[in-house]
Structure 1
Amino acid sequence: MNKIIVFLFLSSIFGFSSYGQKINKEKIDQFLDILASQNLAMGSLSISQNGKIEYQKAIGYSSIDADKKTAATIATQYRIGSTTKMFTAVLIFQLVEEGKIKLDQKLSDFYPNLPNANKITIADMLYHQSGLHDYTKDTNYSDWMDKSKTPNELLEIIKEKGSDFEPGTKNDYSNSNYLLLGYIIERSFKMPYANVVEKRITSKLKLKDTYYESISNLKNDSVSSYKYFENKWNPVSKTNLDTHGGAGALISTPTDMIRFIDALFSNKLVHKSSLSKMKTIINEYGMGLFSNKYGSENSFGHNGRVEEFYTAVWHFPKQKLSLVYCTNGIAYPRVDLIEGILKICFNQPFTIPSSENSNLKTEDLDKYLGQYSSGQIVVNCTKNNTKLLIESKGKTFEVETIADNYFGNKDLGYFFEFNPEKRTLQIKETDNIYLLKKGN
């Protein structure tokens, strides 16, 4: 099975005319309203042009308690997960600019007992090239994710798990890198990470809804994340964010994150030379940023996930267009949600998905029927009159039409996009895409 872990948004292959038109706010409203009405998504979206916020909208609920539902608003605060890493990278470059640390400085200057500490540089950690094993993987993380762990306990976990590869030889995403960078920030500024973020970023930019969540700084714990199954949104257990520090402990809103990314790209947080280094891509990784192409247009940003909170933050420098979407419940694949919004923003053809518009005849399903595989997974597509059926691993389930060549089962969280001409099938589940090919 070819598994594509999409921590960026979909890289489109078509071209389009230069950007310059106004955002079609009404069409974005329709798109988000359809997703909300079909329980496919909950969350908030903000879009800016030329540093000015042009669009804001919230859908779904910030909390669901039996029959009591609290509607989400543009002020709803979300856990932003790994998007925190952009803040950490900014603070590291501020330290570099002030001569307090160097990018080629070794980890051994701070934590000499960690694996390969005398070989790993600050730059290696920013680029995810350290080789340090991710402290959330192969460590029974699910057993202690809601518990409090001290920095010393986490350092011991990283030490015990050792190194996955020689520093600088490849890139491999590891939360351990930015957890350690967060600790280095605390030691260098001589204050807690939360205070550094507040002093150096949020106060400066007046980000009133962005802060570090810890047990001692729990400003708003009312927003939960949810997974859709059994025909309803079900709450997901919360992690202890304090454990994740500079790797993923921040709370924010799309509006605040728009202001942050716009400030970063207008050199209000770091010098132009520092931003240039952050944007320098090695094997698809930048320093606290990722890059992606939408058609021929470049963008920079970062995605984040913790529990069922997902965040996407992207900025198009050429167009001076920024987009931030935060969600606490999503069944519809995030890659398709973001791509749909971008198509609307760039005035590209886009049909708003809706199962209510489906009127397929049984013969219309014939082009999808057959066996698809990737080597590791096999899927059989059959039909029952006008219903498409998917069979995998001995289980068969029905899918409903979402759009042309696109079907889904939101209760299971799986969506299926067919390309009959190329004889391919993409199976999507929130942030993962699996590519299968049709047999003879």
Structure 2
Amino acid sequence: MNEEPFSQVRRRCFERAFACLACFVAVATFAADKLPELFDVKAVDEFLSEQVRREGRVGMSVTIVRNGETVLAKGYGKRSIEDKRPVEPDTVFAIGSVSKQFTCVTALLLAEDGRLSVNDPVAKYYPDLTRAKDITLLDLMNHTSGYPDYYPLDFLDRHLRKRINPDELLRQYAGGKLDFEPGTKWSYSNTGYILLGRIVEKVSGESLGDCLSRRIFKPLGMEHTFYELNPSDGRIAAGYLSFLLSDPELAAPEASGWLGGAGGIYSTPADLAKWDLALIGGKVVNPASYALMTKSRKLPDGKLTEYGCGLSITLQNGREVIAHNGAVSGFNTFNAIVPSTRSAVIMTCNMEGGLGLMPNQMLALLLKEQSNVPAVSGPPATDTVKAILAQVQKAKVDRKQFAEEFNQYLTDEKIAGVSKRLKPYGTPTKTEPISSNERGGMEVTWTRPCSKKVRLKSRCIAALMPSLSSFSSIASDPTPRLKCLHPRAPVRAGTAEAGSPCREQSVRLLPDTARDDVGEFPR
């Protein structure tokens, strides 16, 4: 349905795109407390608790796994405003389209049994649907079938409030005109997953719920996970919505027949953590099936969709992340797994849009590793940039900071020329840090000096050198660049074998409207 900006494609399933109105609510509620800078369980717990308490969310349940161990499993807020019962770790929430990965696994298990193939045409099971001979089960899993989505809106419209037979749903939405030629494009389609669930039922000879329970829920000990519960079931948290900053109000659920294999599962974050670890640990499907699940579909034009079978597949901080969001009326869910570290973030909320930015924030913290940037003492990069720029603009450079060989290279004529070219840009009024990283055992720091006339970018590299040994002007484009080294003292004993750490700087002057598109910037 919707793509998320975490570089990670968070395809919200059943997932309401939070168009303008819902988005307005989410944006308005996230100004509260500061996010912890590093992953610390106590700090994360306090942050999440405060988010629920102060920001008008009803209830939330969270499980975080690091290195295969659950480090946080807790409920926050209320499962129901009316009876004021708190959210407990075993409180059940609707997980929306996080259900899709489960539906895919039931099909893959049947394929492992030799009872179907993911390359089977839909016509083998539903011959009367549009282009059924040209659309495969894998197309349904990958969202490349071309079948229109029956649930693209951000609210529960009238037809979703009326019961429907799943086969009638398929006749209406998979029996008409396609959105595109099968296999040529990617477009989120809940319709395809209703169809996939019905095919699983036909092949297995049992209901999708029974198949899920027998082959997944019970073997994995997922005691609080169910398929298509009655919304009045006391184990489920009450679902809420808010319209343009209104107080939370009870959300009407989708009527029978509309969720199915696309979004019909109810669970807890703790149970989903069991699923996550089992899935990446080879305890659910065989290696070939797992590889297919986590393989991004490649379109005929060469574009990768970043979506496999019920999972988005992206790289963040150099690590593969497989994830999916979910949303049905009154509920919001997020499930992300980092296979390489056996870590996961699972969050559920009983208010539409209630998770907001928190999943991104928690995942970023989980992925944040201890910095390998060398610690270097002395003036910070921002001060160094301002000092060097001021010296050059005035054509009065302190040559004591330069090595002898470089002083020979840096003639008075060169300094005069650079000064003349830089003066029109004005004196920087502030210099802001942007990012730091390690390269070649050195600290590389990007900063942004700003003046009333222009915005600048600078790169400062702190290295172990006896003295400043380079400073040059590079005129390879219309905007001048500066490159220099500034001596700094080592932070701790043993960091420098000879001499002191130095800082190399590259400054690029850019207009105020320029984008942050310099290489080496994190996206």
TM over 0.5: yes
Larger radius of gyration: 2
Alpha-carbon distance change, 330 to 144 in structure 1, aligned in 2, over 3 angstroms:
closer
Residues 92 and 224 of structure 2 are in contact (CA less than 8 Å); yes or no, is this contact kept in structure 1? yes
Matching of residue 47 in structure 1 with residue 64 in structure 2? yes
Aligned partner of 1:34: which letter?
Answer: E
1-structure distance, mates of 2:111, 2:230: 31
- Distance between the aligned counterparts of 2:362 and 2:294, measured in 1? 24
Aligned residues of 1:44 and 1:57 also touching (Cα < 8 A): yes
> Cα deviation per residue 1:145-204 (whole Å; 9 max; x = unaligned)?
232211232122124442111111111110011110100110111001110010000000
CA change 1:421–1:257 in 2 (3 A) is farther
Query: Aligned partner of 2:363: which letter?
Result: L
The equivalences for 1:237-276 within 5 A come to 237-240=252-255, 242-276=257-291
Compute the displacement of 1:272 (Å): 1.0
Within 1, Cα distance between the matches of 2:56 and 2:514?
Answer: 27
Aligned partner letter, 1:181: L
Of residues 27, 43, 53 in structure 2, which corresponds to 1:37? 53
The answer for the alignment partner of 1:416 in structure 2 is none
**Residues 241 and 248, structure 1, Cα contact 8 Å, conserved in 2:** no
**Structure 1: gaps (5+ residues):** 13-21, 350-366, 368-419, 425-440
**Which residue number in structure 2 is paired with residue 392 of structure 1?**
none
Displacement after TM superposition at 1:214 (Å): 4.5
Report the equivalent of 2:361.
340
Higher-strand-fraction structure = 1
1:168 corresponds, among 183, 186, 193, to 183
Taking the aligned partners of 2:7 and 2:74, their CA distance within structure 1 comes to 22
The alignment's TM-score, normalised by the length of structure 1, stands at 0.71
> Structure 1 residues 33 and 124 mapped into 2: Cα distance closer, same or farther (>3 Å)?
same
- CA separation in 2, counterparts of 1:216 and 1:226? 15
What amino acid is the match of 1:25? V
Q: Of 217, 237, 248, which residue of structure 2 is paired with 1:202?
A: 217
Q: Which ranges in structure 2 are unaligned for 5 or more consecutive residues?
A: 10-37, 298-304, 371-429, 431-510, 516-523
* Counterpart selection for 2:3 from 3, 6, 14: 6
Task: Quickly say closer, same or farther: Cα 1:216–1:301, change in 2 above 3 A.
Answer: closer
Which secondary structure does the structure 2 equivalent of 1:71 belong to?
coil
Contact 2:166 2:257 in 1 (8 A): no
Asked if 1:79 is matched to 2:108, the reply is: no
Give the equivalent residue in structure 1 for 2:456.
none
Deviation per residue, 1:1-58 (Å, 9 max, x gap): xxx933574549xxxxxxxxx9511111121122112125331110113433221122
With over 3 angstroms needed to count, the CA separation of the structure-2 counterparts of 1:237 and 1:330, relative to structure 1, is closer
Shift of 1:210: 0.5
Counterpart residue type for residue 310 of structure 1: N
Whether 1:187 and 2:202 are equivalent positions in the alignment is yes
Distance 2:314 2:111 in 1: 26
Letter in 2 for 1:328: N
Q: Is the partner of 1:43 in helix, strand or coil?
A: strand
2:61, 2:75 within 8 Å by CA — same for their partners in 1?
yes
Going from structure 1 to structure 2, the CA distance change for 1:295 and 1:11 (only over 3 Å counts) comes to farther
Paired residue for 1:125, among 108, 115, 140?
Answer: 140
Give 1:314's aligned residue. Answer: 336
Matched residue pairs, number?
Answer: 340
By relative contact order (CA 8 Å, sep 6+), the higher-ranking structure is 1
Q: TM-score, normalised by structure 2?
A: 0.60
Moved more, 78-87 or 291-300: 291-300
1:53-64 superposed matches below 5 A: 53-64=70-81
DSSP-derived class of the 1:62 partner: coil
Match of 1:281 among 290, 296, 303: 296
Q: Which amino acid aligns with 1:274?
A: S
Distance 1:141-1:131 versus aligned 2 partners, 3 A rule: farther
Letter of the 1:344 counterpart: L
Q: Letter of the 2:261 partner, please give it.
A: G
Residues 306-348 of structure 1 show CA distances to partners (whole Å, capped at 9, x for unaligned) of 12311111110111111101111266662x2122213433457
**Residue number in structure 2 paired with 1:323:** 345
1:218/1:40 CA distance change after superposition, 3 Å: closer
For the residues of structure 2 that align with 1:285 and 1:421, how far apart are their CA atoms? 37
- After superposition, what is the alpha-carbon deviation per residue over 1:69-112, rounded to whole angstroms, capped at 9, x for unaligned? 22211111110011100100111110111111112110000001
Q: Secondary structure at the match of 1:323?
A: strand
> Percent of aligned positions with the same letter in both sequences?
27
